[in-house]
Amino acid sequence: MRRKRNTGSLRSPRSLSEAVSDLNSKTIAELRDGFRAGHFSAREIAENFNAAVAGARTLNAYTLETPDDALAAADTADQARASGDLLPLSGIPIGIKDLFATRGVETTAGSKILAGFRPPYESTVTAKLRQAGAGMLGKLNMDEFAMGSSNETSAHGPVISPWRRKGSNVGLTPGGSSGGSAAAVAAQIAPGATGTDTGGSIRQPAAFAGIAGIKPTYGRCSRWGVVAFASSLDQAGPMAKTVRDCAILLEAMAGFDPKDSTSLDAPVPLWEANLSSDLRGKRVGIPREYRIEGVPDDVNRLWERGIEWLKDAGAVPVEISLPHTRYALPAYYIIAPAEASSNLARYDGVRYGLRERGPGGLDGMYSATREAGFGAEVKRRIMIGTYVLSAGFYDAYFTKAQKVRALIKQDFRKAFELCDVILTPTTPSAAFGIGETTDPLAMYLNDVFAVPASLAGLPAMSVPGACDKEGLPLGLHLIANELDEQMVLNAGLAIEERAGFTARPEKWW
């Protein structure tokens, strides 16, 4: 299928030589359209990104590089262009978070316990991306089993953000858990990447890295072949430079899958074709409960500017109330660990990954394998989950949390009677330094604005808004009703067009 040329591009047309030399800074839409127009070949795109990936190992964004995969897909794309059989993502190489099973390619979920695991199958999401013509640059680093907000829990070591504070060379985190994905897009060593979001793992790193990222409605993207963390929350989504690029990737990733029992049996909308930043007639909800103490002025100031930008696009702001917001994080930290303790019971040293022989037969092997294979944060969450699900505590913790979750869902249902989209900050701060946050609870607070939408299964997106006084990116967060990704993308586009966020990290790696 041929698509019409991207008319939303803000960049002016370039000459041929300029076009080739600057491939890494292009958006996916620009790469796609330039490739189709014959300004450069898919092979040139892949070679440029492969070289950039190899030149950025200091960032530790990739756990595994797969340049041959990217080149093979590129050659197929070049042939397809010659024969006129182009696919939606022909010519586009992307990075894949290491949570997605990739056939024959090591998939570790950032954990030592899955070292050497080569799945005999391909996740539905990555299979769909391949069917759409995309190539794979490599597997992207992440917090172990997606449990973390800083990438510091990865068994492969932390990802270093390409961003630095003004006049400082302190290593910063790109956020997490999709930190490798965020860093790769920000450092221009992938034009786009897959991420997953259980309680903010796409949106928080997108905000920290100055890029866009969307978590679609729960069930839009198949969970089949995505290493499970908390199954009632886990959702895959794209991370890329622009809102349009997110729409392009999400169209390829989403869709009904009979292999996932919670997959939504609904057609995939033409999100890209329907992008519009004209928000006349739309109401933007501003939840008063998201004004919390201790949030830096820069964050609140950007929020105010975000309201102005959406007004400028034609929307009308309305104050709304989401009264159970403050209970979202504690409910999340019961539900997610409970589901994780159950999901991670499969790592027993029998079928795949690490095995350690302990004393005392089979039980000893289980305990020794899990002791050696899991990192501290994963153990902590399995322990919490096991406790809250144990006899005598189940109702007090787990059932209670699911009741609170029902109330949070109801809050949103009522709010969407008054508004079409909700605007909040993405994170309560900009990126922090590696090793700076050692208290688990302080780390969990990173996702205070992101978690409510996760608990309610709603589509939500982060778009870059501005840099703070230290020169670090801050994101704005949009939440819409079930299945209304278009509203999130359109409001995101309206912000993107007005924010004029062009800051990029200066290359030091």
Site for other proteins in 406-445 (CB under 8 A): 406-407, 409, 440-441
Looking at the DSSP bridge assignments, the partners of residue 464 are: 475
CB of residue 267 to other proteins, shortest distance in Å: 15
| C-beta atoms surrounding 11 within 10 Å | 11
Taking CB under 8 A as the binding criterion, the range among 156-164, 398-406, 430-438, 463-471 that sits at the site for other proteins is 398-406
What 3-state DSSP class applies to 181?
Answer: helix
Please say if 177 is a catalytic residue.
yes
**CA pair distance 486, 380, nearest whole angstrom:** 38
Residues 6+ apart with CB under 8 A from 68: none
Residue with smaller CB distance to other proteins, 177 or 481: 481
Candidate list 81, 301, 355, 504; residue touching other proteins; CB under 8 A: 355
- The footprint of other proteins on residues 154-173 (CB under 8 A) is none
CB of residue 349 to other proteins, shortest distance in Å: 6
Strand order in the sheet with 135-140: 62-65, 135-140, 93-97, 192-197, 235-240, 212-215, 460-467, 473-480, 421-425, 283-287, 316-320
Please say if 201 is a catalytic residue.
yes
- The footprint of other proteins on residues 453-472 (CB under 8 A) is 455-457
Taking CB under 8 A as the binding criterion, the range among 92-100, 144-152, 357-365, 492-500 that sits at the site for other proteins is 357-365
CB of residue 332 to other proteins, shortest distance in Å: 9
How far lies 305's CA from each of 429, 456, 465, 497, in Å?
16, 27, 9, 13
**Which amino acid, residue 333?**
Y
**CA pair distance 488, 362, nearest whole angstrom:** 50
Candidate list 333, 416, 432, 501; residue touching other proteins; CB under 8 A: 333
Map 348-406 to HEC letters: CCCCCCCCCCCCCHHHHHHHHHHHHHCCHHHHHHHHHHHHHHCCCCHHHHHHHHHHHHH
Please say if 222 is a catalytic residue.
no
Taking CB under 8 A as the binding criterion, the range among 83-91, 150-158, 244-252, 452-460 that sits at the site for other proteins is 452-460
CB of residue 263 to other proteins, shortest distance in Å: 9
Taking CB under 8 A as the binding criterion, the range among 154-162, 238-246, 292-300, 372-380 that sits at the site for other proteins is 372-380
CB of residue 379 to other proteins, shortest distance in Å: 6
Residue with smaller CB distance to other proteins, 244 or 405: 405
What 3-state DSSP class applies to 133?
Answer: coil
Map 23-34 to HEC letters: HHHCCHHHHHHH
Residue with smaller CB distance to other proteins, 288 or 403: 403
- The footprint of other proteins on residues 300-329 (CB under 8 A) is 324, 326-327
Q: Does 120 contact other proteins by CB under 8 A?
A: yes
Q: Does 477 contact other proteins by CB under 8 A?
A: no
Helix residue ranges, H only, 423-484: 440-444, 451-455
Active-site residues: which are they? 97, 177, 201
